[in-house]
Amino acid sequence: MEQVKAAIEAVLERMAERYAAGDVDGVVALFAGEESLIVGTGADEVRFGLAQIRAQVERDMTQADQMSMRFGDLMVRVAGEAAFAYADAAFAGSVGGEEFRLPVRMTAGLVRADGDWRLAQFHVSVAYGEQPEGESFPS
């Protein structure tokens, strides 16, 4: 299990490195294929398939002057040739010279193909700030 966790952590670190380097092809190469999807924090950030994922990654990179990702407290569960990951994450950088920091919750579904782990699903969300702690619904 520790080997799988390390391998998945390495995939996420490669994603962070490639985003920071502005490497669109490198980010897209981390995904499993046409069955892959990503969901971001924006209302329009739901992307299915590699072409849409590429378009989102390009948009992210063209809108940010610089960007970094950090994944903390990674938890991984494995089910055969699939794995599911959760991390408290943070995206940071600058847009138009203004710095931002966006704490997010990340989930990812990965599949093993030819001995390598690839992203099949990548999802980030922001906790709804108006929902009181301990409550299941906003008041």
Q: Is residue 96 part of a domain?
A: yes
Over residues 128-139, the pLDDT tens digits come to 888 888 988 887
Q: Identify whether 93 is part of a domain.
A: yes
Residue 31's region, left for phi above 0, alpha for psi from -120 to 50, else beta, is beta
Residue 130 within any structural domain of the chain: no
Does residue 6 lie in a domain region? yes
Residue 134 lies in a domain: no
Q: What is the pTM of this model?
A: 0.90
Write the CATH number for 69: 3.10.450.50
Residue 15: give the domain boundaries.
Answer: 2-125
pLDDT by residue (tens digit) across 49-96? 999 999 999 999 999 999 999 999 999 999 999 999 999 999 999 999
Q: DSSP for 77-133, please give it.
A: EEETTEEEEEEEEEEEEEETTEEEEEEEEEEEEEEEETTEEEEEEEEEE---TTSPT
Residue 46 inside a domain? The answer is yes
User: Does 138 map to a domain?
Assistant: no
Count structural domains, the chain.
Answer: 1
